[in-house]
Amino acid sequence: MKRIGVLTGGGDCPGLNAVIRAIVKTASDLDIEVIGFRDGFRGVVMNEFLPLAPKDVVGILIKGGTILGSSNRDNPYHFKTEKNGETVYADLSDQAVANIEQLGLDCTIVIGGDGTLSCADDFMQKGVKIVGVPKTIDNDLNGTDLTFGFMTAIDTATDALEKLHTTAESHHRIMVLEVMGRDAGWIALQAGIAGGADVVLIPEIPFTLEQVAKRIFERKNRGRTFSIIIVAEGAKPVGGQQVVKRIVSGSPEPFRLGGIGGEIARQLEEITGFESRVTVLGHLQRGGKPSAFDRILASRYGVAAVEMATQGQFGMMASLQGTAISTVPIAVAIKELKTVPPEGELVQTARSLGMSFGAP
Considering the entire predicted model, what is its pTM? 0.95
Question: What is the structure's pLDDT at 250?
Answer: 64
Looking at the DSSP assignment, which residues form a beta bridge with residue 244?
Answer: 257
Largest separation between any pair of C-alpha atoms in the chain: 71
8 Å CB contact between 96 and 44: yes
Task: Locate the domains of the chain by residue range.
Answer: 3-148+290-322, 150-287+341-352
How would you classify residue 167: left for phi > 0, otherwise alpha for psi between -120 and 50, otherwise beta?
alpha
pLDDT at 20: 98
Whether domain 3-148+290-322 has CATH 3.40.50.1260: no
Listed in order, strand segments (DSSP E) in 126-254 are 130-134, 174-179, 199-201, 227-232, 244-247
- Cα–Cα nearest to 18, from 70, 59, 78, 73: 59
Judging by beta carbons within 10 Å of its beta carbon (0-12, 13-18, 19+), is residue 67 exposed, middle or buried? middle
Nearest to residue 67, comparing CAs of 8, 134, 139?
A: 8
Residue-wise pLDDT tens digits, 11-60: 999 999 999 999 999 999 999 999 999 999 999 999 999 999 999 999 99
Q: What pLDDT does 73 receive?
A: 85
The catalytic residue among 138, 140, 155, 198 is: 138
Answer whether 177's CB lies under 8 Å from 147's CB. Answer: no
Query: 25: buried, middle or exposed (CB in 10 Å: 19+, 13-18, 0-12)?
Result: middle
pLDDT at 164: 98
φ/ψ of 60, rounded to 5, equals -95, -5
Give phi and psi for 81, each to the nearest 5: -140, 170
Q: Is the dihedral of CA 187, 277, 237, 196 positive or negative?
A: positive
Q: Are 23 and 34 a contacting pair, CB within 8 Å?
A: yes
- Total residues found in the chain within this entry: 360
Instruction: Give the residue from 10, 99, 115 showing the smallest Cα distance to 46.
Output: 99
Tell me if domain 3-148+290-322 and domain 150-287+341-352 are identical in fold.
yes
At 192 the pLDDT is 98
Give the right CATH number for 150-287+341-352 from 3.40.228.10, 3.40.50.2300, 3.40.50.460, 3.40.630.10.
Answer: 3.40.50.460
Of the candidates 179, 242, 202, which has an alpha carbon nearest to the alpha carbon of residue 351?
A: 202
In this prediction, the residues of the chain whose per-residue pLDDT falls under 50 are none
39 is catalytic: no
Apex CA 133: angle with CA 129 and CA 137, to 5°?
Answer: 145
Distance, CA of 143 to CA of 70 (rounded, Å): 23
Q: What is the pLDDT of residue 251?
A: 66
pLDDT of res. 255:
80
Q: Give the model confidence (pLDDT) of 283-328 as tens digits.
A: 999 999 999 999 999 999 999 999 999 999 999 999 999 999 999 9
